[in-house]
Chains A and B, each alone.
Chain A
Amino acid sequence: EIVLTQSPGTLSLSPGERATLSCRASQSISSIYLAWYQQKPGQAPRLLIYGASSRATGIPDRFSGSGSGTDFTLTISRLEPEDFAVYYCQQYGVSPRTFGQGTKVEIK
Chain B
Amino acid sequence: QVQLVQSGAEVKKPGASVKVSCKPSGYSFTDYYLHWVRQAPGQGLEWMGWINPDSDGTKYAQQFQGRVTMTRDTSITTAYMELSGLTSDDTAVYYCARATYSSYHDYWGQGTLVTVSS
Contact = CB atoms under 8 A, between A and B. Distances in A.
Given A97-B47, A99-B45, A99-B47, A92 B104 contact: yes
B44 A44 contact: no
Contacts, number: 53
Interface in B37-57: 37, 44-47
B28 interface: no
B13 interface: no
Nearest to B45: A99
A88 B102 contact: no
How many B residues touch the partner, as a band? 20 to 34
Contact of A33 (B46, B95, B102, B108): B102
B79 to A, nearest CB: 16
Given A47-B104, A50-B104, A92-B102, 5 more contacts: A35-B105, A44-B95, A45-B45, A97-B35, A102-B44
11 contacts: A44-B109, A45-B95, A47-B105, A47-B106, A50-B104, A51-B104, A88-B45, A92-B99, A92-B102, A96-B62, A97-B35
Interface of A: 33, 35, 37, 44-47, 50-51, 56, 88, 90, 92-93, 95-102
